[in-house]
Amino acid sequence: MMTKLREMSKLFLYLLVVAFLALMVLEWGADITGRSAQGNNIVGKINGHEITVEEYNQMLQNAYENERQRTGGELSDADMKRLQNEVWENIIQQILLQEQIKKMGIKVTKREIAYHSVHNPPQYFRNIPAFLTNGQFDINKYRQALQNPQVEQTVVSYVAQNLPFQKLLARITAAVMVTEEEVKDAYMRQSMRAKVEYVGAPLYKFSSKEVEVSEEEAKKYYEEHKDDFKVEEKRVLNYVLFSTAPTHEDTMRVYRLAEDILKEAKSGADFAKLADEYSEDPSVQTNHGDLGYFKRGDMDPAFEKAAFSGKPGDIIGPVKTRFGLHIIKIVDRKKEDGVEKVRASHILLRFNASASTVEDARDRADEFAQIAKESGFKVAADRLKYKIEKTPPFVKRNFIPGLGLMEGAVEWAFHAEKGEISDPFRAQTGYVVFEVAEIQLAGYRPFEEVKAICINRIKTEKRKQMARDYALKFADAVKS
């Protein structure tokens, strides 16, 4: 048991130290991985895993957007700084934990994923308001929502990604058991104090200007530490995006439908039946639009403002929030423990692209891909007046900078030849046709590109040696 404890302690210490070093790379511009080299597109390297500026920025933008949706407002400078740190820390944790998952041979089966998706929902989904009844998670509402294929796909994907980490945590916590004697030892170590006098030899006292490094030394360091400058195989793609964002006509269609529903509701139609027929809130299948009682701060600000401005029986709308358009019926108002609450039902209409908009994007993508394969990518784009975008170099990680997660497209890109043109791929924001613009094979960054890094590292080692020599000389003088 003690052996397991020590192994787990080493694991935690390892994660802590590497996370600290990775944080130095981002926050202090430290020279540990060579991030500061000119023209470098790498924001950090963690155990050989390169994090590109584009990957980091994409994750950061996603975090910003999620936070805006959660709070319903703009982000302060402090919020943005906090999210920057959180995103970076999450990247570090994901990579380090994934390494441990692989090292420990942790796997999950489809049966496990299915079981947890239905019977043990992640905490993230337990906190979604649509799955709550009187402030408590309602498993029946959740399971009803799973009948929606889109909801089910989202949940299954989330569970599949997070279950390995849960298994890792379970193994670690199961292995860590502390005896009474160990508790006593820890207490003694923390409680005992000693007075120590010392003379330090801080590194800053030994200026790098005092240290000389020759070209030969730098080249030798480069050859001996070449793995530090290893780069993975990469691809650069040209692409044309055919957006599936809702058009103006799609948006106006939703507004017209909302006005029609509002008229029906105000003319006396059964609101619950209207919700069952029209609402796109997944919870409507179980609550028929009834949101129950809520207080200020529980809902989107625009929704809250409208709901608390009405009286029982009022039907209000359409109200626009980040979720879409709402038709709101005020059912009741009350005060509970001095807190004002409103009970309301709603009908949610989302701003989705119509089937014709999606189909049109797919048709245009198919047409472009066919012409591009016959005439050339640029020729086809010029002829059809489409804008060609270009990705930065990216590694094989299921992620394409600027477009998001596209596992199929990444697989294609790393098997295709230079100049090869793809069929349309579905992205988060539309359909995409790619051309392989550049293939960058795995290798090493050239010496000239990392020369300054090598010199700085050698200088640091020499300054450390100078500090050690100074400390030893002082110690000898004290002893004598």
pLDDT values of the chain reduced to their tens digit, one per residue, 480 residues? 344 444 444 444 444 444 444 443 333 333 322 333 333 456 677 777 777 766 777 787 777 777 766 665 566 667 777 888 888 888 887 788 888 888 888 888 888 888 888 888 888 788 887 788 877 888 888 887 887 767 787 888 888 888 888 887 777 766 555 666 766 677 667 666 666 565 566 666 777 777 889 999 999 999 999 888 888 899 999 999 999 999 999 999 999 999 999 999 999 999 999 999 999 988 888 889 999 999 988 888 999 999 999 999 999 999 998 889 999 999 999 998 899 999 999 999 999 899 999 999 999 999 999 999 999 999 999 999 999 999 999 988 878 888 888 889 999 999 999 999 999 999 888 999 999 999 999 999 899 988 988 998 898 888 888 888 887 887 777 776
Q: Which long-range contacts (CB under 8 A, 24 or more apart) does 35-41 make?
A: 36/453, 37/445, 37/449, 37/450, 37/452, 37/453, 38/449, 39/449, 41/392, 41/393
CB-CB neighbours of 35 under 10 Å:
20
Q: What is the CA radius of gyration of the chain?
A: 30
Statement: the pTM of the whole predicted model exceeds 0.85: no
**What integer pLDDT is reported at residue 29 of this predicted model?**
35
Query: In angstroms, rounded to a whole number, what is the distance separating the alpha carbons of residues 454 and 211?
Result: 13
Q: For tokens 């998001």, name the residue.
A: 404
**What integer pLDDT is reported at residue 388 of this predicted model?**
96
* Distances in whole angstroms, Cα of residue 225 to Cα of each of 25, 219, 230, 457, 463: 18, 10, 10, 11, 19
Burial of 320: CB neighbours in 10 Å, binned 0-12, 13-18, 19+: middle
Query: In angstroms, rounded to a whole number, what is the distance separating the alpha carbons of residues 244 and 365?
Result: 11
**What integer pLDDT is reported at residue 20 of this predicted model?**
43
Backbone dihedral angles phi then psi of residue 68, each to the nearest 5 degrees: -60, -45
CATH topology of domain 248-349: Chitinase A; domain 3 (3.10.50)
Burial of 117: CB neighbours in 10 Å, binned 0-12, 13-18, 19+: buried
Report helix, strand and coil shares of the chain as percent, to nearest 5. 55, 20, 25
What ranges do the domains of the chain cover? 1-105, 107-178, 205-230+444-479, 233-245+355-441, 248-349
- Torsion sign over Cα 186, 189, 190, 191: positive
Query: In angstroms, rounded to a whole number, what is the distance separating the alpha carbons of residues 455 and 221?
Result: 9
The answer to whether 233-245+355-441 and 248-349 have equal CATH topology is: yes
Which residues neighbour 403 within 8 Å (Cβ) at sequence distance 6 or greater?
239, 241, 391, 409, 427, 428, 429, 432
Closest CA to 73 of 286, 233, 262, 302: 302
Q: If you ran DSSP here, which 8-state letter would residue 208 be given? A: G
Class of domain 233-245+355-441: alpha beta
**What integer pLDDT is reported at residue 385 of this predicted model?**
96
**What integer pLDDT is reported at residue 21 of this predicted model?**
42
Which regions of 168-286 does DSSP assign to beta strands (E)?
230-231, 234-243
